[in-house]
Structure 1
Amino acid sequence: MLRPGGADLTIAGGVREFGRATPDAIAVRDGDRALTYAALDERSSRVACALLSLGLTTGDRVALLSGNRLEYPEIAAGIAKAGLVLVPVNPRLTAPEVEFILGHSGARVLITDGSADFAVRVIRIGPEYEKFLDDARAVDPWIPVDERDPFCIAYTAGTTGDPKGVLISHRSRSLTFYATALEWGIGPGRRTVAVAPMYHGAGFAFAYAAVHCGATVSMLRSFQPDALIDLLARDGAQSVFLVPTHAQLIRQHFSEIPDLPLLDTLYFNAAALPKVLKEWVFEAFPGVGVHELYGSTEAGVVTNLRPPDARRKAGTVGHPWFGTQVRIVDSAGREVGPGEPGELYSRSPYLMNGYHENPAATAACTTDDGFLTSGDIVVRDEEGFISIVDRVKDVIITGGVNVYPRDVEEVLLAHPSVTECAVVGEPDDRWGERVVAYLVSPGPVVPDVLEAYLRDRLAGFKIPKQYRAVPALPRNAAGKILKRELRSTQ
């Protein structure tokens, strides 16, 4: 009797398959440079053989410190072909922060497009990297890996203390890529753009999905609104993944978006898309399907709000994604009903394996039956649509009453004098915490005007006690506002 089976899922699988199925199709574009699938398959095999020639063995870690560029997908695929583990590193980190990640992950090699030296073997993208590949065999080593083993260790920005390394399996990301192809049409003949940085979980997932599923991805080296629109037009991209900050900057730059006849899909992640900004997206990109998804590095994609409901259910993040179960519970662990706030847990094939060398942190965010906390408070309505209320850690308790910052932020963002905002709680001797609003505004901030506006729309205890004008809000690589940095300035 035959037993069902087959090769384990690996993130190198798509490169291998389309290197044979569509060898002449363009896999990656980067300015005037381009790689066909045949070239991507061959060069990633050279990366694998070159790394193995250094004495690396299955499970060893290889760090990649680079911005979005043509070499990123071939290095990631080559590391996977060699049975090694990728450690993506943010080029904006300081040298001590990079050294921590290299040491904590146990990386033995660093491939970089930078010039700094570190206490590991360093290979620099450019002539040195090209010679490294030229001297290697162009043969796929086919090192076997278990699909549940990690393909990467992705380091999150630590809210307190050092960052944690998220172990993400080949199976998790391969299934994410296939679901992405199903949801947003990332497949053969389709074109997309890598806008978000690939060293971040979502940026990697939605850019690399293209080469895993036979599409073409164009690299945007650094984000500028006009550069993105020009690239979408030049390469005829049909879909693109953005974060709300990108939309905000595009809105500020363009009075009218140039015609993009081939663009049919936009999908947003990283932070809630404010209703005012989302309405602008509908108007600026008429006829384009707008998705809003929610997830994390640890959980992958958890929910998706699809175009048919995008306007009707603006302010929600939709229903659970393919193969995902959610559980919403109160502080005692009891499941809550529709309309009641609770903490969101999810269970799916996209979940992380855990935190690298940190079992205590892993145990703290998971349940015995395999659910992972999001750390977010949500509400589910009668139709099953989920709305993010706020981060558990960001809820403000003032005078014993809970204030959810997003409630205040949504109203502030509807005022014409507010471009961006972040509401936080700060210590207060009388109330425990006071509500404080940080504002980015094109002109002077007039507290009395804002307070009068808010009092018609919010309960008195939600009104900020202070308004602070800032030139910009601090954000991480994913575009999420770093509220801890705002609190730490006081």
Structure 2
Amino acid sequence: MTRDELIRPVPALLKEHAEPAPERVAYADSAHGVTCAGLERRTRALAGHLTRTGLARGDRVAIIRGNRVEAAESCLAVLRAGMVGVPLDPRSSDAEPAHFLKDSRAAFVITDAAHPVRLRRPGSPYDGLGALVAGPGPVPDGARSFHSAVESDEPAEIDTLGLDDPARMPYTSGTTHRPKGVLSTQRAALWSVAACYATIFGLSSGDRLLWPLPQFHGLSHSPAILGVTAVGASARIAGDPTAPGGLRQEPVTAHEGLGGPFTAPAGVPATYHRLVGSEGAAPPALRMCLVAGAPSGPALRTAMEEALGAPLFDAYGSTETCGIIAAVRPEGPRADGSCGPPVPGVEVRVVEPRSGADVRDAAEGEVWVRSPGLSPRTRRERAERAVRIPPSSRIVRDP
């Protein structure tokens, strides 16, 4: 059973949680926080500002911002403006953003003070790219202030994006070729929230997430941006997840105004290896921890439970499926090396790549997936069969 009531337009979800709990903190980072009411108001204002810049419905807006509240606000505001958000890694080299901006046909960028100058180095058309700049420091010539945009109150036509209209275009990791942009819709992206995070892991308004993963990544967007928005939870956006000490450098008590102790983080295995292997005070006991990107292994799971008293649950997903494909259930059996059964509504086959025939039990193969979370392009191009996840993403069938 999935939480189908969570698959609704994001503006409606924002307004729903802003009305009964306006002062509850939705997001906080090391600099500041934003309440549920503030999140609805600021994303509405930012969406209106974007429409007044001359951008049109469906235009691509690149978001190049580190782990900050403004990154979450930007994702939600671009959607409310009826445009397509293109989240990019703020730590990438100059050449990489230039490629992604050209490939995505981005018409605008939301970033920090350093990036407008870097983005103009390749020359036309990037030297004329419109930009909103967030964070401290002066706003470069030709750019506009993010702070001013989110505080504006001019009326604008927003919140017209349908559940099945393109809303976001993240890029794959490029393990088999150059990274590719994957269009997703509100419906596809919210599917993982409704079928996995809320249904399997119990994500609710009572959760206070401690979130160390880069926000441009899909594993952050689904639970920490759309998930928090859909269920009315709160999230403490952690700093650089690669810094020594990892989560141990984050506050061990709730952030000002967050209203309770942290209940759950998510990370890749390296996140938790750094956590259990570093010095300093540990975060408080957590309800659960989610790990993806690679199998966790029994030693890491044991170490996490000893250090924090929190179970570590493996999950497996991809950019093309807009979220989680399979996950270990808190109440179910666990097998070493397994990412668990498919989430509700997802069909998975493990096949021999050349023939397309199912492999025998315990044999390695290519993963084929059919899911409501598939990107619209993938769903249209492969209407008669499941999407093929790249061959480098292999799993072993549980006997």
TM-score by length of 1: 0.69
Residue in structure 2 matching 1:317, options 339, 348, 356: 339
CA–CA distance in structure 2, aligned partners of residues 245 and 152 of structure 1: 27
Which residue matches 2:26? 27
Which residue matches 1:483? none
Q: Deviations over 1:215-245 (max 9, x none)?
A: 0001112124646235362221101111101
**Secondary structure, aligned partner of 1:369:** coil
Which residue matches 1:144? 160
The change in CA–CA distance for 1:12 and 1:174 in structure 2 (over 3 A counts) is farther
**Secondary structure, aligned partner of 1:172:** helix
The change in CA–CA distance for 1:337 and 1:162 in structure 2 (over 3 A counts) is closer
2:90 counterpart of 1:91:
yes
Give the aligned residue type for 1:125.
Answer: A
Structure with bigger strand share is 1
Which residue matches 1:162? 178
TM-score by length of 2: 0.84
Determine what percentage of the aligned residue pairs are the same residue.
27
Which residue matches 1:123? 132
Q: Deviations over 1:370-424 (max 9, x none)?
A: 4333523333234xxxxxxxxxxxxxxxxxxxxxxxxxxxxxxxxxxxxxxxxxx
Residue-pair matches, total: 366
Q: CA deviation at 1:317?
A: 0.8
Give the aligned residue type for 2:72.
Answer: P
Which residue matches 2:257? none
Give the aligned residue type for 2:289.
Answer: L
Which residue matches 1:284? 307
The answer as to whether partners of 1:197 and 1:203 remain within 8 angstroms in 2 is yes
**Secondary structure, aligned partner of 2:87:** strand
2:229 counterpart of 1:216:
no
Residue in structure 1 matching 2:287, options 247, 257, 264: 264
Which residue matches 1:327? 349
Q: CA deviation at 1:160?
A: 5.7
2:187 counterpart of 1:174:
no
Q: CA deviation at 1:214?
A: 0.1
Q: CA deviation at 1:24?
A: 1.8
Which residue matches 1:233? 252
2:283 counterpart of 1:274:
no
The answer as to whether partners of 2:328 and 2:339 remain within 8 angstroms in 1 is yes
Query: Where in structure 2 are there 5+ consecutive unaligned residues?
Result: 120-125, 140-144, 255-260
2:394 counterpart of 1:380:
no
Matches within 5 A, 1:400-439: none
Q: CA deviation at 1:368?
A: 2.7
Q: Deviations over 1:17-39 (max 9, x none)?
A: 21223212111111252211111
Task: Report the more deviating stretch, 125-134 or 241-250.
Answer: 125-134
Q: CA deviation at 1:8?
A: 7.9
CA–CA distance in structure 2, aligned partners of residues 326 and 9 of structure 1: 26
Q: CA deviation at 1:69?
A: 0.5
Residue in structure 1 matching 2:220, options 197, 200, 203: 203
Superposed CA RMSD: 2.7
The answer as to whether partners of 2:248 and 2:283 remain within 8 angstroms in 1 is no
Which residue matches 1:245? 270
Q: CA deviation at 1:251?
A: 2.7
Give the aligned residue type for 2:223.
Answer: F
**Secondary structure, aligned partner of 1:246:** helix
CA–CA distance in structure 1, aligned partners of residues 311 and 328 of structure 2: 11
Which residue matches 1:303? 326
Give the aligned residue type for 2:253.
Answer: R
Q: Deviations over 1:51-85 (max 9, x none)?
A: 00011121111111011111122211111111111
The answer as to whether partners of 2:200 and 2:330 remain within 8 angstroms in 1 is no
Q: CA deviation at 1:42?
A: 0.3
**Secondary structure, aligned partner of 2:284:** coil
The answer as to whether partners of 2:61 and 2:108 remain within 8 angstroms in 1 is yes
The change in CA–CA distance for 1:227 and 1:272 in structure 2 (over 3 A counts) is closer
Query: Where in structure 1 are there 5+ consecutive unaligned residues?
Result: 1-5, 383-490
CA–CA distance in structure 2, aligned partners of residues 294 and 257 of structure 1: 30
The answer as to whether partners of 1:52 and 1:82 remain within 8 angstroms in 2 is yes
Q: CA deviation at 1:257?
A: 6.5
Residue in structure 1 matching 2:385, options 354, 369, 389: 369
The answer as to whether partners of 1:81 and 1:140 remain within 8 angstroms in 2 is no
Matches within 5 A, 1:104-119: 104-116=103-115, 117=117, 118=119, 119=126
Which residue matches 1:470? none
